[in-house]
């Protein structure tokens, strides 16, 4: 009764009084520090914060990506899970290249030699469908690093790396991948998300995975619509990751 009355005042202010359920926590937890975090006060395991991951989150990676450690962890585990799957690496929306660098680093450590296709305008948004993407996005937004800098960052003697500049869908013709093992799609907007998703689903090997960065982010609702349409067309389902903007598709 008190909670209901209080919530009449609190909820319009964006707050809510909730009952706290007592948790049974073994004491002491061996890695207790990994169960707390500024992003969520709930006691959740956050493996990406453990020291074992620090060596992967180098300045070359963290200094050149918009992705959090949590999101990079999803990419890393997906690369691990697809290590035996035939096909190339693909990324739509490479930005400054930090996430791509991590994908290449981990593939090398796993002993997986792959071709990598990394696509971006390298000039931010250059085409917007205002009716779908909304009026909150504008040409030239999301401009990260120029292509030359990304080529330098992704230089890799053991991988066959292709950094392709220009607008998706047009540049997809330059991607000579018959099979894709793992794809990361992070272009925010409807048209390139739709085209890149279809392109990948046409080529995704059984056991292959796609991580969509923008699925749960309301500002990218148009990207989610594009992904849902493509998934229906290809009869695929995905998992929207709780407490993240990401979603994951695993091809059976």
Stretch touching ligand SAM by CB under 6 A, among 50-58, 90-98, 172-180, 221-229? 90-98
Q: Which of 144, 183, 222, 248 binds ligand SAM (CB under 6 A)?
A: 144
- 126-133 contacts at long range (C-beta below 8 A, 24 or more positions apart): 126/167, 127/167, 127/189, 127/191, 128/189, 129/189, 129/190, 129/191, 129/222, 132/190, 132/191, 132/222, 132/225, 133/189, 133/190, 133/222
Task: Answer yes or no whether residue 133 interacts with ligand SAM by CB under 6 A.
Answer: no
Task: Answer yes or no whether residue 223 interacts with ligand SAM by CB under 6 A.
Answer: no
Residue with tokens 């048209």: 191
Q: Which of 49, 88, 98, 182 binds ligand SAM (CB under 6 A)?
A: 98
Q: Provide the minimum distance between the beta carbon of 168 and ligand SAM in the complex, in angstroms, as a whole number.
A: 4
Q: Provide the minimum distance between the beta carbon of 13 and ligand SAM in the complex, in angstroms, as a whole number.
A: 31
Neighbours of 53 (CB within 10 A): 15
Q: Provide the minimum distance between the beta carbon of 141 and ligand SAM in the complex, in angstroms, as a whole number.
A: 8
Q: Which of 142, 151, 229, 241 binds ligand SAM (CB under 6 A)?
A: 142
Task: Answer yes or no whether residue 220 interacts with ligand SAM by CB under 6 A.
Answer: no
Cα–Cα distance between 203 and 189 in angstroms, integer? 22
Residue with tokens 């990207």: 223
Stretch touching ligand SAM by CB under 6 A, among 3-11, 30-38, 113-121, 233-241? 113-121
**Backbone torsions φ then ψ of 60, nearest 5 degrees:** -65, -30
Within 1-60, the residues that bind ligand SAM by CB under 6 A are none
Task: Answer yes or no whether residue 105 interacts with ligand SAM by CB under 6 A.
Answer: no
Asked whether 167 and 127 are in contact (CB, 8 A), the reply is yes
Task: Answer yes or no whether residue 185 interacts with ligand SAM by CB under 6 A.
Answer: no
Stretch touching ligand SAM by CB under 6 A, among 2-10, 16-24, 62-70, 151-159? 62-70
Cα–Cα distance between 119 and 79 in angstroms, integer? 18
Q: Provide the minimum distance between the beta carbon of 170 and ligand SAM in the complex, in angstroms, as a whole number.
A: 8
**Pairing between β-strand 247-250 and β-strand 238-240 as defined by DSSP bridges:** antiparallel
Nearest CA to 95 out of 172, 185, 204, 219 is that of 185
Task: Answer yes or no whether residue 65 interacts with ligand SAM by CB under 6 A.
Answer: yes
Stretch touching ligand SAM by CB under 6 A, among 18-26, 40-48, 105-113, 121-129? 121-129
6 - beta bridge partners? Answer: none
Q: Where are the alpha helices (DSSP H) in the chain?
A: 2-10, 51-54, 59-62, 69-81, 98-109, 130-133, 147-153, 190-203, 221-233
Cα–Cα distance between 191 and 169 in angstroms, integer? 8
Q: Which of 186, 194, 211, 223 binds ligand SAM (CB under 6 A)?
A: 186
Residues at the contact surface with ligand SAM, assessed by CB under 6 A:
65-67, 93-96, 98-99, 119-121, 124-125, 127, 142, 144, 167-168, 186-189, 192
């Amino acid at each position: 009764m008190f909670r209901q009355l209080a919530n009449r005042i609190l909820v319009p202010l964006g707050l809510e009084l909730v009952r706290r359920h007592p948790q049974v926590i073994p004491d002491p937890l061996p890695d207790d520090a990994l169960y707390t975090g500024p992003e969520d006060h709930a006691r959740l395991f956050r493996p990406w914060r453990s020291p074992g991951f620090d060596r992967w989150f180098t300045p070359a990676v963290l200094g050149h990506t918009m992705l959090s450690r949590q999101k990079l962890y999803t990419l890393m585990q997906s690369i691990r899970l697809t290590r035996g799957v035939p096909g190339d690496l693909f990324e739509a929306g490479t930005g400054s290249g930090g996430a791509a660098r991590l994908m290449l680093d981990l593939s090398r450590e796993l002993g997986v030699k792959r071709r990598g296709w990394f696509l971006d305008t390298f000039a931010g948004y250059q085409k917007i469908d205002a009716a779908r993407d909304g009026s909150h996005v504008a040409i030239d937004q999301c401009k990260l690093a120029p292509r030359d800098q990304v080529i330098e960052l992704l230089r890799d003697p053991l991988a066959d790396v292709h950094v392709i500049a220009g607008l998706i869908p047009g540049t997809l013709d330059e991607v000579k991948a018959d099979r894709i093992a793992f794809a990361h799609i992070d272009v925010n907007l409807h048209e390139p998300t739709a085209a890149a998703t279809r392109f990948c689903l046409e080529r995704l090997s059984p056991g292959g995975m796609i991580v969509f960065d923008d699925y749960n982010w309301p500002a990218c609702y148009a990207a989610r619509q594009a992904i849902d349409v493509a998934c229906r067309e290809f009869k695929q389902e995905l998992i929207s990751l709780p407490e993240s903007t990401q979603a994951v598709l695993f091809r059976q």
